[in-house]
Amino acid sequence: MLAHYGPQLVNLLAAVLLLLAFAMLSQRRILSLINLFAAQGLVLFLATVLVAMITAQGHLYWSAAVTLLLKVFLLPWILHRLIRRLNVKWDVETLVNIPTLMIFGLVIVILAFNLAAPISLLAGTVTRSTLGIALASVLLAFLMMITRSKAVPQVVAFLAMENGLFFAATATVYGMPMVVELGVALDVLVASLILGVFLFQIRSRFDSVDTRHLERLKEH
Amino acid sequence: MGAVLALLVVPLAGGAVLALIGHRRYGPEVNAAFSAVTFCAAALLVGRVIEEGSISVLEEQFFVDSLNVFLVALTAFVSMTTSLFSRPYMRIERSHGRVSDAGMRLYHAMYQLFCFTMLLVLTTNNLGVMWVAMEAATLTTVLLVALYRTHAALEAAWKYFILCGVGIAQALFGTILVYFAAERILGSGMTALLWTHLDSVKAGLEPTVMSIAFVFLLVGYGTKVGLVPLHNWLPDAHAEGPTPISAVLSGLLLNVALYALIRFKVITDGALERPFAAALLTGFGLVSVVVAAFFLSRQRDIKRMFAYSSIEHMGLITFAFGMGGPVASFAGLLHMTVHSLTKSAIFFTVGHATQKSGTQLMEGIRGLVRVSPALGWGMMLGAVAILGLPPFGVFASEFLILTTAIAQQPWAAPILLVSLGVSFAAIFGKVQAMVFGEPTAARLPHRPALAPVFAHLALVLLLGLYIPPYLVDWYRRAAQLIG
Amino acid sequence: MNASGLVAQLTEVALAILLAPLLSGWVSQCRAWLQNRRGPGLLQPYRVLAKLFEKEVVLAHNASSLFRSSPYLIFGCLVLAAAIVPTLGTDLPLNPAADAIALVGLLALARFFIALAGMDVGTAFGSLGARREMMVGFLAEPALLMVLFTASLISHSTSLSTIVGTLAHREFVIYPSMAFAGVAFTMVSLAENARIPVDNPATHLELTMIHEAMVLEYSGRHLAMIEWAASLKLFVYSCIGLALFFPFGVAQGGDWLGLVLALPAFAAKLAVGGAALAAIEMVSAKMRIFRAPEFLGTAFMLAVLALLVHALLER
């Protein structure tokens, strides 16, 4: 039964991942954004565990555990603490209005699916069709990063991009070797900590975390 | 094996130690000491490679061959000389109040960790670890670029972080795709990520996957090399951090990123029949040279100007590797070496000049040769060297690249010549104005460390006149590898 | 065309016409129970219709023949729509015409006439309502089409009976695209049937109403027809939702026993659906009118995503 329903469940989780990426794209409130990011981490954890069970690859369980610890608990906790101490406002404006953003997002999804199609055909994993979704999540996170003007959503977008990449690794190659996975996780953690420190410095210098203040260095 | 381990463990240990004592009076000396020990380890490694040829260590996790051995030596050497330069420089910055105690600890610890990450990228055989180390190199320097906490510094560091972070994420996707292609032949597990194994099976890798992967890798690592149009972070990041950091960023990190790109190019060329990777490199390289030359002439800040010069030279090297062939690749490798040495020497002189004059704007720096003749002549010679005047080494490599371009890509040669000419005029004019004229510079409590400057320039002069046979051998072998 | 099909068809149409007000009554009653009130009773809509039929029709001087005939036209369109959605059996005589696109076309025709009727007399409220109705329709129709296309991609045909037949008798497969399409369809039905969170069906005097604004000028039997048509519309949308997403219990062609069993199954599903609608209305707050395009835009986007996900994952 697992062999039959397992891949379908993974597909369902991949679809939910894509939905969460869209939800993050259109989200107005920072708090919900962070919770959506945690939800994405949870979906990733479930998908990795499922793939581990279907393909009997032991190292994926460790990978899933690291994901759970880092992306569902540690990183959202760091982010929540950050916005509490930074005292940021609840609502975030986007540089482009939300319906237009949705349409860009749909175009990006179509592009990503097309790009991933030839690779999916070659893959030998049960989850190969989800590569398009993984690439789409990465590109949607990128779109989110460039259309936000506050620093904290940009940080969340950066982390969401890494979520998409992790899913791509799970989808096409059943996860990278453990050393690499651990290294990437470490990088992400250190990056978040550095960003936290950094945002304080920006805050204390500019009295705001609006990144439009950070556009004064132009070509002379 | 011992040499490689020492090479990596020493800077790591240095980072840990300096995180605790970096603010003390003797902190800069400890920093320099660690870098010197690293350099000794690198020298030992070089000796072993000269004797034995390529070596691979620790179950093939580390691999040193003709392509990265000279880069390892160069990195260790330049980080040692930069740490010597940083001694008086950071002391003066501290006395001016621009850096606090915590800042000094952060600076020294991150400096050592940065060296560690760069050496890891260079010596690792594992493409995944290479990615992790590249990202770590960015992370260690982000806080350093923001060290002075001014508006401009924070903006530069933010751009650096975000743009390089996004770029590196694309490179991760490219790495995943390469692993995917390799896994089909080599099986899953660590061996599919080892460059030496990939090199031996590269003809069998899926062409579609490899071409898509290379595009992502070019965008990713190309951002770190500073290829136009992904270069936006570079002038700001190199201009706003402390000058020793500018020196290592310009001189070393760009080389390391390009090295990573070259490793992937070798594999992609083996997988694809057509010169896809080479065409991309040529295109991006040429565009970088042209755009950088024209932006360069409009700069008023001295460090930004030399940052654009770095973009220009890295573009030239990329163009050379794109053209391919034994001569062009040889010239590219030589240029990597001499550019690194010359640019860091220039940044040393620039650092002292800006400290003495109190400003980074070129119109505020005048008459350096009167205040400190060694400094003035050092800057003059450095500028002359980077502009490609004989008998410095840069002339040799640029000459080789241009003659190969005339032979293989004749349409590109005039474009290159014009761009090089534009930057020549701009830099020479500005440097001449700064070195001569009525002095605006002041004397400072610590004497400038000019020994590193002249050491570098002497090496560049040497390489222009005579290249030691083992170096020629490495360049030739590496050029053969690059194709 | 066979006997069971004909019987199924006639039963469906009769049920639709007769039971649509009962469905509206059931939804209001569920809402009342959830809000801890006694409620108006299940048969209240019938009493309202009976009262309206007895009342005199009052027409404005400048009301055209369109104004007078619109209620019947709208009612007719919706009856036809109810006829072609397979709820009891899939072997209906109208099958050749029962196409998903035709269904959307019928609903659009109904919307067109009610909007025209709203503008006919020239009052401010009428044109206000008509404009808003068209805005909702502009976004809701593509979303509904996309939902139907997703279903038709799965069953390789746009014929409604084929869709229902395929979906009903396939083995249980998890279709993420249908999950997305389901959410999109729910949002579209909420908007089209003038339910919270898009419009409030319980009041007649809100300045942000859409549906009620258009029918302010109607009275007597015309108003009765329009109210009946509105409850028919809810009925039709529920039937579409059940046919696409919960098609269990629908009889295959020519199966008398299946047909007899389909009736209670259908009634049970409608009851559950009505209760669910009441629950949704309970927990949502009515959104400000300028957010309605966003709401529907999200529905459209979800529907397109469903299509894309199907193309990617379920080939």
More confident of the two residues C292 and C271 = C271
Phi first, then psi: give them for residue B149, nearest 5 degrees. Answer: 55, 25
* First and final C-alpha spacing in chain C: 34
Distance from CA of A61 to the nearest CA of C (A): 24
Q: Assess whether pLDDT exceeds 90 at residue C295.
A: no
- For residue B301, give the nearest of B378, B212, B241, B224 by alpha carbon: B241
- For residue B137, give the nearest of B33, B58, B225, B54 by alpha carbon: B225
Cβ contact, residue pair A215, B155, below 8 Å:
yes
What per-residue confidence (pLDDT) applies to B342?
Answer: 93
What per-residue confidence (pLDDT) applies to A126?
Answer: 66
pLDDT tens-digit readout, A12-71: 888 899 999 988 988 878 888 999 999 999 999 999 998 888 888 788 888 889 889 998
The whole-model pTM stands at: 0.83
B76-105 mean pLDDT: 88
One-letter amino acid at C302 equals L
Residues 6+ apart with CB under 8 A from C76: none
Q: Assess whether pLDDT exceeds 70 at residue A92.
A: no
Name the residue in chain A with its Cα closest to that of C293: A99
- For B166, the closest of A145, A176, A201 (CB atoms) is A145
B142 close contact with A: CB closer than 8 A: yes
Handedness of CA B423, B429, B433, B435 (dihedral sign): positive
Q: Tell me the CA distances in angstroms from C26 to B193, C85, C185, one per residue in order.
A: 64, 21, 21
Size of interface A-B (CB pairs under 8 A): 128
Question: What 3-state DSSP class applies to B231?
Answer: coil
What per-residue confidence (pLDDT) applies to C73?
Answer: 94
C254, C4 Cβ separation under 8 angstroms? yes
Q: Which of residues 256-285 of C touch A (CB under 8 A)?
A: none
Considering only CA atoms, give the Rg of chain C: 19
Cβ contact, residue pair C173, A12, below 8 Å:
no
Distance CA C170, CA C244 (A): 13
DSSP line for chain A: -HHHHHHHHHHHHHHHHHHHHHHHHH--BHHHHHHHHHHHHHHHHHHHHHHHHHHT-THHHHHHHHHIIIIIIIHHHHHHHHHHHHT--SB--BSS-HHHHHHHHHHHHHHHHHHHHHHHHH--STTGGGHHHHHHHHHHHHHHHHTB-BHHHHHHHHHHHHHHHHHHHHHHHSS--HHHHHHHHHHHHHHHHHHHHHHHHHHHHHSS-BGGGGG-----
Distance CA B169, CA B216 (A): 9
pLDDT tens-digit readout, B114-137: 999 999 999 999 998 999 999 999
Tokens 């196409």 locate to C99
Name the residue in chain A with its Cα closest to that of B157: A198
Confidence of residue A218 (pLDDT cuts 50, 70, 90): low
Q: Tell me the CA distances in angstroms from A210 to A141, A144, B265, B323, one per residue in order.
A: 19, 15, 39, 44
- Using H for helix, E for strand and C for coil, what is the string for C63-104? CCHHHHHHHHHHHHHHHHHHHHCCCCECCCCCHHHCEHHHHH
Task: Tell me what percent of the residues of chain C surpass a pLDDT of 70.
Answer: 95
Residues 6+ apart with CB under 8 A from A56: none
B469 CB-contact burial (10 Å; exposed 0-12 / middle 13-18 / buried 19+): exposed
pLDDT tens-digit readout, A196-217: 888 888 777 777 666 666 666 5
C37-53 mean pLDDT: 90
**CB atoms < 10 A from the CB of A118, how many?**
12
What per-residue confidence (pLDDT) applies to B159?
Answer: 86
Confidence of residue C12 (pLDDT cuts 50, 70, 90): confident
A117-123 mean pLDDT: 77
ipTM summary value: 0.87
What per-residue confidence (pLDDT) applies to A90?
Answer: 63
Q: What angle do CA A1, A166, A8 make, to 5 degrees?
A: 20
One-letter amino acid at B222 equals G
pLDDT tens-digit readout, B259-283: 999 999 999 988 887 888 899 999 9
Q: Which two tokens stand for residue C243?
A: 């046919």
Interface test with B, best of A60, A114, A119, A163 (most B CBs within 10 A): A119
Touching A (3+ Cβ pairs <8 A), the chains are B, C
What per-residue confidence (pLDDT) applies to C312?
Answer: 80
- For A22, the closest of C179, C301, C311 (CB atoms) is C301
A67 close contact with C: CB closer than 8 A: no
Q: Assess whether pLDDT exceeds 70 at residue A219.
A: no
- For residue C178, give the nearest of C245, C83, C246, C90 by alpha carbon: C245
C314 close contact with A: CB closer than 8 A: yes
Q: Which residues pair with residue A148 across a beta bridge? A: A94
Distance CA B238, CA B258 (A): 17
Q: Which two tokens stand for residue C117?
A: 């009727």
pLDDT tens-digit readout, C135-175: 888 889 999 999 999 988 888 888 888 888 888 777 767 78
Q: Assess whether pLDDT exceeds 70 at residue B338.
A: yes
B126 close contact with A: CB closer than 8 A: yes
- Which DSSP category does B194 fall into? B
Distance from CA of B239 to the nearest CA of A (A): 11
Residues 6+ apart with CB under 8 A from C11: C88, C263
What per-residue confidence (pLDDT) applies to C5?
Answer: 77
Distance CA C12, CA A123 (A): 49
A175: left (phi over 0), alpha (psi -120 to 50) or beta: left
Cβ contact, residue pair B179, A173, below 8 Å:
yes
Distance CA C167, CA C246 (A): 9
Q: Assess whether pLDDT exceeds 80 at residue B456.
A: yes
DSSP line for B296-331: HTT--BHHHHHHHHHHHHHHHHHHHHHH-SHHHHHH
Phi first, then psi: give them for residue B248, nearest 5 degrees. Answer: -75, -30
Residues present in chain C in total: 315
Distance CA C255, CA C6 (A): 12
Residues 6+ apart with CB under 8 A from A195: A155, B161
Cβ contact, residue pair C176, A14, below 8 Å:
yes
A83, A31 Cβ separation under 8 angstroms? yes
- Using H for helix, E for strand and C for coil, what is the string for B274-292? CCHHHHHHHHHHHHHHHHH
C297 close contact with A: CB closer than 8 A: yes
- For C313, the closest of A11, A19, A99 (CB atoms) is A11
Tokens 């939300």 locate to A98
Question: What 3-state DSSP class applies to B128?
Answer: helix
One-letter amino acid at B124 equals T
Name the residue in chain A with its Cα closest to that of C297: A99
Q: Assess whether pLDDT exceeds 80 at residue A174.
A: no
Distance from CA of A214 to the nearest CA of B (A): 5
Interface test with A, best of B154, B205, B236, B360 (most A CBs within 10 A): B154
- Using H for helix, E for strand and C for coil, what is the string for B378-417? HHHHHHHHHCCCCCCHHHHHHHHHHHHHHHHCCCHHHHHH
pLDDT tens-digit readout, B169-216: 899 989 988 988 888 888 777 888 888 888 888 888 888 889 889 999
Phi first, then psi: give them for residue A210, nearest 5 degrees. Answer: -85, 120
Q: Which two tokens stand for residue B72?
A: 């390892």
Distance CA B36, CA B42 (A): 10
What per-residue confidence (pLDDT) applies to C53?
Answer: 92
- Name every chain A residue with its beta carbon within 8 A of the beta carbon of C304: 106
C133, C212 Cβ separation under 8 angstroms? no
Distance CA C66, CA B5 (A): 90
One-letter amino acid at B72 equals V
B401 CB-contact burial (10 Å; exposed 0-12 / middle 13-18 / buried 19+): buried
pLDDT tens-digit readout, C210-242: 787 888 888 889 999 999 999 999 999 998 898
Q: Which two tokens stand for residue C28?
A: 């209001």
Residues 6+ apart with CB under 8 A from B51: none
B189 CB-contact burial (10 Å; exposed 0-12 / middle 13-18 / buried 19+): exposed
What per-residue confidence (pLDDT) applies to B333?
Answer: 92
Distance CA A2, CA A50 (A): 9
What per-residue confidence (pLDDT) applies to A220?
Answer: 41
Calculated CA dihedral for residues A81, A83, A84, A87, nearest 10 degrees: 160
Least confident of A11-20, A73-82, A104-113, A114-123: A114-123
* First and final C-alpha spacing in chain A: 66
pLDDT tens-digit readout, B343-375: 999 999 988 888 888 888 888 888 888 888 888
More confident of the two residues C198 and B313 = B313
Residues 6+ apart with CB under 8 A from C290: none
- Name every chain A residue with its beta carbon within 8 A of the beta carbon of B193: 176-177, 180
Cβ contact, residue pair C305, A18, below 8 Å:
yes
More confident of the two residues C71 and A195 = C71
B419, B426 Cβ separation under 8 angstroms? no
pLDDT tens-digit readout, C183-201: 899 999 998 888 887 777 7
